[in-house]
Structure 1
Protein backbone atom coordinates (compact mmCIF):
# COMPACT_ATOMS: atom_id res chain seq x y z
CA UNK A 1 0.00 0.00 0.00
CA UNK A 2 1.30 3.46 -0.86
CA UNK A 3 1.34 6.69 1.11
CA UNK A 4 0.87 10.31 0.09
CA UNK A 5 3.67 12.84 0.50
CA UNK A 6 2.81 16.36 1.64
CA UNK A 7 2.15 18.49 -1.44
CA UNK A 8 2.10 22.30 -1.40
CA UNK A 9 0.88 24.50 -4.24
CA UNK A 10 0.69 28.14 -5.27
CA UNK A 11 -0.17 29.87 -8.54
CA UNK A 12 0.37 32.86 -10.76
CA UNK A 13 -1.79 33.69 -13.75
CA UNK A 14 0.52 31.67 -16.02
CA UNK A 15 2.02 28.99 -13.72
CA UNK A 16 1.34 26.51 -10.95
CA UNK A 17 4.08 25.85 -8.38
CA UNK A 18 3.96 22.39 -6.81
CA UNK A 19 6.38 21.37 -4.04
CA UNK A 20 6.41 17.71 -3.04
CA UNK A 21 7.88 17.44 0.46
CA UNK A 22 9.62 14.06 0.46
CA UNK A 23 13.19 13.97 1.84
CA UNK A 24 15.54 11.37 0.37
CA UNK A 25 13.16 10.26 -2.39
CA UNK A 26 14.58 7.40 -4.47
CA UNK A 27 13.81 7.19 -8.17
CA UNK A 28 11.18 9.97 -8.23
CA UNK A 29 8.91 9.93 -11.26
CA UNK A 30 6.83 12.97 -12.23
CA UNK A 31 4.47 12.87 -15.19
CA UNK A 32 2.51 15.84 -16.49
CA UNK A 33 -0.01 15.41 -19.28
CA UNK A 34 -1.48 18.20 -21.47
CA UNK A 35 -5.07 17.61 -20.31
CA UNK A 36 -3.97 18.54 -16.79
CA UNK A 37 -3.05 15.23 -15.19
CA UNK A 38 -0.13 15.17 -12.76
CA UNK A 39 1.20 11.93 -11.29
CA UNK A 40 4.09 11.29 -8.91
CA UNK A 41 5.76 8.26 -7.37
CA UNK A 42 8.96 7.62 -5.40
CA UNK A 43 10.32 5.22 -2.82
CA UNK A 44 11.80 6.28 0.52
CA UNK A 45 13.95 4.62 3.17
CA UNK A 46 15.59 1.24 3.52
CA UNK A 47 12.17 -0.43 3.36
CA UNK A 48 11.52 1.37 0.05
CA UNK A 49 8.09 2.63 1.12
CA UNK A 50 6.11 3.78 -1.91
CA UNK A 51 4.78 7.35 -1.93
CA UNK A 52 2.51 8.37 -4.79
CA UNK A 53 -0.41 10.54 -5.84
CA UNK A 54 -2.30 11.66 -8.90
CA UNK A 55 -4.10 14.95 -9.48
CA UNK A 56 -6.59 16.03 -12.13
CA UNK A 57 -5.67 19.69 -12.44
CA UNK A 58 -8.44 22.19 -13.08
CA UNK A 59 -7.41 23.00 -16.66
CA UNK A 60 -4.99 22.14 -19.46
CA UNK A 61 -1.23 22.72 -19.13
CA UNK A 62 1.74 23.28 -21.44
CA UNK A 63 3.93 20.22 -20.87
CA UNK A 64 6.84 21.48 -23.01
CA UNK A 65 7.26 24.63 -20.89
CA UNK A 66 6.80 22.85 -17.54
CA UNK A 67 9.87 22.00 -15.42
CA UNK A 68 10.79 19.79 -12.49
CA UNK A 69 13.76 19.98 -10.10
CA UNK A 70 14.69 17.18 -7.69
CA UNK A 71 16.30 18.32 -4.46
CA UNK A 72 17.46 16.50 -1.36
CA UNK A 73 14.36 17.43 0.65
CA UNK A 74 11.72 18.07 -2.01
CA UNK A 75 10.72 18.00 -5.66
CA UNK A 76 9.66 21.33 -7.19
CA UNK A 77 7.43 21.40 -10.28
CA UNK A 78 6.68 24.55 -12.21
CA UNK A 79 3.72 23.78 -14.43
CA UNK A 80 2.94 26.25 -17.19
CA UNK A 81 -0.78 26.83 -17.71
CA UNK A 82 -2.02 26.50 -21.29
CA UNK A 83 -4.20 29.57 -20.88
CA UNK A 84 -3.03 32.54 -18.81
CA UNK A 85 -5.76 32.89 -16.16
CA UNK A 86 -6.28 32.41 -12.44
CA UNK A 87 -7.75 29.10 -11.34
CA UNK A 88 -10.32 29.09 -8.55
CA UNK A 89 -8.74 25.87 -7.24
CA UNK A 90 -5.99 23.41 -8.17
CA UNK A 91 -8.01 20.28 -8.92
CA UNK A 92 -11.27 19.50 -10.69
CA UNK A 93 -12.95 17.67 -7.81
CA UNK A 94 -14.80 20.24 -5.72
CA UNK A 95 -16.51 18.12 -3.06
CA UNK A 96 -13.57 16.01 -1.88
CA UNK A 97 -10.71 17.71 -0.01
CA UNK A 98 -7.32 16.02 -0.39
CA UNK A 99 -5.69 15.93 3.05
CA UNK A 100 -2.13 15.80 1.69
CA UNK A 101 -2.62 18.92 -0.49
CA UNK A 102 -1.94 22.32 1.12
CA UNK A 103 -1.49 25.92 0.01
CA UNK A 104 2.15 27.06 -0.09
CA UNK A 105 1.80 30.42 1.65
CA UNK A 106 5.51 31.18 1.11
CA UNK A 107 4.93 31.30 -2.65
CA UNK A 108 1.31 32.44 -2.74
CA UNK A 109 0.33 35.73 -4.41
CA UNK A 110 -3.27 36.90 -4.63
CA UNK A 111 -4.72 37.53 -8.06
CA UNK A 112 -4.95 41.29 -7.56
CA UNK A 113 -1.32 41.40 -6.38
CA UNK A 114 0.09 39.43 -9.32
CA UNK A 115 1.95 42.13 -11.19
CA UNK A 116 3.27 39.60 -13.69
CA UNK A 117 6.35 38.99 -11.52
CA UNK A 118 7.65 35.45 -11.51
CA UNK A 119 9.55 33.92 -8.64
CA UNK A 120 13.33 34.19 -9.08
CA UNK A 121 14.35 30.64 -9.91
CA UNK A 122 17.58 31.59 -11.67
CA UNK A 123 19.66 29.56 -9.23
CA UNK A 124 17.69 26.36 -9.84
CA UNK A 125 19.06 24.00 -12.48
CA UNK A 126 16.39 22.91 -14.94
CA UNK A 127 18.93 22.37 -17.73
CA UNK A 128 19.08 18.59 -18.05
CA UNK A 129 15.81 17.01 -19.08
CA UNK A 130 15.36 13.35 -19.96
CA UNK A 131 17.82 12.03 -17.37
CA UNK A 132 18.40 8.41 -16.56
CA UNK A 133 17.64 7.42 -12.98
CA UNK A 134 21.36 6.79 -12.39
CA UNK A 135 22.13 10.42 -13.27
CA UNK A 136 20.05 11.98 -10.50
CA UNK A 137 22.14 14.18 -8.21
CA UNK A 138 20.12 15.26 -5.19
CA UNK A 139 20.68 18.74 -3.83
CA UNK A 140 19.01 20.56 -0.98
CA UNK A 141 16.98 23.59 -2.00
CA UNK A 142 17.07 26.66 0.22
CA UNK A 143 14.69 29.54 0.47
CA UNK A 144 16.82 32.59 -0.33
CA UNK A 145 14.41 34.79 1.62
CA UNK A 146 16.11 33.58 4.82
CA UNK A 147 19.60 34.49 3.55
CA UNK A 148 20.60 38.07 4.20
CA UNK A 149 17.14 39.11 5.32
CA UNK A 150 18.32 40.05 8.81
CA UNK A 151 19.61 43.41 7.53
CA UNK A 152 16.39 44.43 5.77
CA UNK A 153 13.72 46.59 7.34
CA UNK A 154 10.09 45.47 7.40
CA UNK A 155 9.32 48.00 4.64
CA UNK A 156 12.04 46.53 2.41
CA UNK A 157 10.76 42.97 2.96
CA UNK A 158 7.15 43.87 2.16
CA UNK A 159 6.30 43.19 -1.47
CA UNK A 160 9.30 40.95 -2.11
CA UNK A 161 8.74 37.75 -4.01
CA UNK A 162 10.18 34.71 -2.22
CA UNK A 163 12.28 32.47 -4.40
CA UNK A 164 14.08 29.16 -4.28
CA UNK A 165 17.83 28.79 -4.54
CA UNK A 166 20.14 25.84 -4.83
CA UNK A 167 23.87 25.52 -5.38
CA UNK A 168 23.53 24.49 -9.00
CA UNK A 169 23.96 20.74 -8.48
CA UNK A 170 20.25 19.83 -8.59
CA UNK A 171 18.97 18.47 -11.88
CA UNK A 172 15.60 18.39 -13.50
CA UNK A 173 13.78 15.28 -14.56
CA UNK A 174 11.55 15.08 -17.60
CA UNK A 175 7.98 16.20 -17.07
Structure 2
Protein backbone atom coordinates (compact mmCIF):
# COMPACT_ATOMS: atom_id res chain seq x y z
CA UNK A 1 0.00 0.00 0.00
CA UNK A 2 1.32 3.43 -0.96
CA UNK A 3 1.55 6.25 1.54
CA UNK A 4 1.27 9.97 0.82
CA UNK A 5 4.00 12.27 2.15
CA UNK A 6 3.29 15.79 3.36
CA UNK A 7 3.29 18.25 0.43
CA UNK A 8 3.74 21.97 1.06
CA UNK A 9 2.80 24.41 -1.70
CA UNK A 10 3.11 28.08 -2.57
CA UNK A 11 2.87 29.94 -5.86
CA UNK A 12 3.70 33.02 -7.84
CA UNK A 13 2.08 34.23 -11.04
CA UNK A 14 4.44 32.08 -13.13
CA UNK A 15 5.31 29.10 -10.89
CA UNK A 16 4.07 26.70 -8.25
CA UNK A 17 6.50 25.54 -5.58
CA UNK A 18 5.91 22.06 -4.17
CA UNK A 19 7.98 20.71 -1.28
CA UNK A 20 7.62 17.00 -0.54
CA UNK A 21 8.69 16.34 3.06
CA UNK A 22 10.48 13.00 3.08
CA UNK A 23 13.89 12.52 4.69
CA UNK A 24 16.44 10.09 3.27
CA UNK A 25 14.37 8.70 0.39
CA UNK A 26 15.65 6.88 -2.66
CA UNK A 27 14.37 6.07 -6.14
CA UNK A 28 12.72 9.49 -6.46
CA UNK A 29 10.66 10.04 -9.59
CA UNK A 30 8.87 13.27 -10.50
CA UNK A 31 6.75 13.62 -13.61
CA UNK A 32 4.89 16.70 -14.83
CA UNK A 33 2.37 16.48 -17.67
CA UNK A 34 1.13 19.48 -19.70
CA UNK A 35 -2.50 19.05 -18.63
CA UNK A 36 -1.45 19.80 -15.04
CA UNK A 37 -0.77 16.34 -13.62
CA UNK A 38 2.06 16.20 -11.08
CA UNK A 39 3.22 12.73 -10.10
CA UNK A 40 5.77 11.98 -7.37
CA UNK A 41 7.01 8.63 -6.12
CA UNK A 42 9.85 7.48 -3.89
CA UNK A 43 10.91 4.69 -1.58
CA UNK A 44 11.30 5.50 2.13
CA UNK A 45 14.14 4.45 4.43
CA UNK A 46 12.25 1.32 5.51
CA UNK A 47 11.35 0.34 1.94
CA UNK A 48 7.79 1.73 2.07
CA UNK A 49 6.55 3.25 -1.20
CA UNK A 50 5.31 6.85 -1.29
CA UNK A 51 3.12 8.11 -4.11
CA UNK A 52 1.36 11.41 -4.76
CA UNK A 53 -0.54 12.30 -7.93
CA UNK A 54 -2.08 15.78 -8.09
CA UNK A 55 -4.29 17.29 -10.76
CA UNK A 56 -3.18 20.91 -10.61
CA UNK A 57 -5.56 23.83 -11.13
CA UNK A 58 -4.40 24.60 -14.67
CA UNK A 59 -1.96 23.50 -17.38
CA UNK A 60 1.79 23.57 -16.82
CA UNK A 61 4.95 23.67 -18.94
CA UNK A 62 6.83 20.38 -18.26
CA UNK A 63 10.06 21.70 -19.82
CA UNK A 64 10.12 24.52 -17.24
CA UNK A 65 9.73 22.21 -14.25
CA UNK A 66 12.74 21.55 -12.01
CA UNK A 67 13.39 19.41 -8.98
CA UNK A 68 16.08 19.31 -6.31
CA UNK A 69 16.51 16.33 -4.02
CA UNK A 70 17.75 17.28 -0.58
CA UNK A 71 18.42 15.28 2.58
CA UNK A 72 15.09 16.16 4.22
CA UNK A 73 12.78 17.03 1.33
CA UNK A 74 12.32 17.24 -2.41
CA UNK A 75 11.80 20.73 -3.85
CA UNK A 76 9.86 21.07 -7.10
CA UNK A 77 9.40 24.23 -9.12
CA UNK A 78 6.53 23.80 -11.59
CA UNK A 79 6.19 26.40 -14.35
CA UNK A 80 2.64 27.46 -15.19
CA UNK A 81 1.69 27.39 -18.88
CA UNK A 82 0.11 30.84 -18.61
CA UNK A 83 1.16 33.50 -16.17
CA UNK A 84 -1.59 34.24 -13.65
CA UNK A 85 -2.80 33.56 -10.13
CA UNK A 86 -4.63 30.33 -9.38
CA UNK A 87 -7.59 30.25 -6.98
CA UNK A 88 -6.24 27.06 -5.42
CA UNK A 89 -3.63 24.36 -6.01
CA UNK A 90 -5.90 21.58 -7.26
CA UNK A 91 -8.48 21.53 -10.04
CA UNK A 92 -11.05 19.96 -7.72
CA UNK A 93 -13.17 22.34 -5.68
CA UNK A 94 -13.32 19.83 -2.83
CA UNK A 95 -11.30 20.33 0.32
CA UNK A 96 -7.70 19.22 -0.38
CA UNK A 97 -6.39 16.04 1.25
CA UNK A 98 -4.88 16.48 4.74
CA UNK A 99 -1.33 15.84 3.52
CA UNK A 100 -1.40 19.02 1.34
CA UNK A 101 -0.58 22.19 3.26
CA UNK A 102 0.33 25.78 2.47
CA UNK A 103 4.04 26.60 2.63
CA UNK A 104 3.83 29.88 4.54
CA UNK A 105 7.63 30.34 4.31
CA UNK A 106 7.40 30.64 0.50
CA UNK A 107 3.89 32.08 0.21
CA UNK A 108 3.45 35.34 -1.69
CA UNK A 109 0.20 37.23 -2.15
CA UNK A 110 -0.69 38.67 -5.52
CA UNK A 111 -0.16 42.23 -4.24
CA UNK A 112 3.27 41.38 -2.82
CA UNK A 113 4.75 39.73 -5.92
CA UNK A 114 6.37 42.89 -7.33
CA UNK A 115 8.17 43.64 -4.09
CA UNK A 116 9.16 39.98 -3.80
CA UNK A 117 10.55 39.65 -7.35
CA UNK A 118 14.15 39.68 -6.14
CA UNK A 119 13.36 37.03 -3.54
CA UNK A 120 11.65 34.86 -6.16
CA UNK A 121 14.75 34.92 -8.38
CA UNK A 122 16.84 33.88 -5.35
CA UNK A 123 14.40 31.01 -4.71
CA UNK A 124 14.74 29.86 -8.32
CA UNK A 125 18.48 29.53 -7.74
CA UNK A 126 17.69 27.11 -4.92
CA UNK A 127 15.92 24.88 -7.46
CA UNK A 128 18.60 24.85 -10.14
CA UNK A 129 20.49 21.89 -8.70
CA UNK A 130 23.84 23.67 -8.51
CA UNK A 131 26.12 23.20 -5.51
CA UNK A 132 24.03 20.35 -4.15
CA UNK A 133 25.88 17.09 -3.81
CA UNK A 134 22.67 15.19 -3.03
CA UNK A 135 21.30 15.70 -6.55
CA UNK A 136 22.84 14.23 -9.67
CA UNK A 137 20.13 15.42 -12.03
CA UNK A 138 21.32 19.04 -12.16
CA UNK A 139 17.90 20.34 -11.23
CA UNK A 140 16.02 18.61 -14.02
CA UNK A 141 13.11 16.28 -13.55
CA UNK A 142 13.78 12.58 -13.26
CA UNK A 143 13.30 10.90 -16.60
CA UNK A 144 12.18 7.55 -15.24
CA UNK A 145 8.49 6.91 -15.68
CA UNK A 146 6.61 4.85 -13.17
CA UNK A 147 3.01 3.88 -12.67
CA UNK A 148 1.04 6.76 -11.16
CA UNK A 149 -2.23 6.45 -9.35
CA UNK A 150 -5.22 8.28 -10.86
CA UNK A 151 -5.21 12.03 -10.01
CA UNK A 152 -7.22 13.14 -7.03
Aligned to 2:122: 120
Number of equivalenced pairs: 135
Equivalent residue, structure 2, for 1:130:
none
Matched-pair contact (CA < 8 Å) for 1:63–1:79: yes
Structure number, greater radius of gyration = 1
Q: Distance in 1 between matches of 2:97 and 2:121?
A: 26
Aligned to 1:56: 55
Deviations 1:28-65 (A, max 9, x none): 1111001100011111123x001111000000001111
1:174 aligns with 2:141: yes
DSSP-derived class of the 1:64 partner? helix
- How has the CA–CA distance of structure 1 residues 87 and 123 changed in structure 2, closer, same or farther, with 3 Å as cutoff? closer
Over the aligned positions, Cα root-mean-square deviation in angstroms equals 1.6
Q: Which runs of 5+ in 1 are unaligned?
A: 128-166
- TM-score, with normalisation over the residues of structure 2? 0.82
Note the C-alpha offset of 1:169: 1.9
Instruction: Give the TM-score of the pair, scaled to structure 1.
Output: 0.72
Q: Are residue 13 (structure 1) and residue 17 (structure 2) matched?
A: no
5 Å-filtered alignment, 1:17-36, equals 17-36=17-36
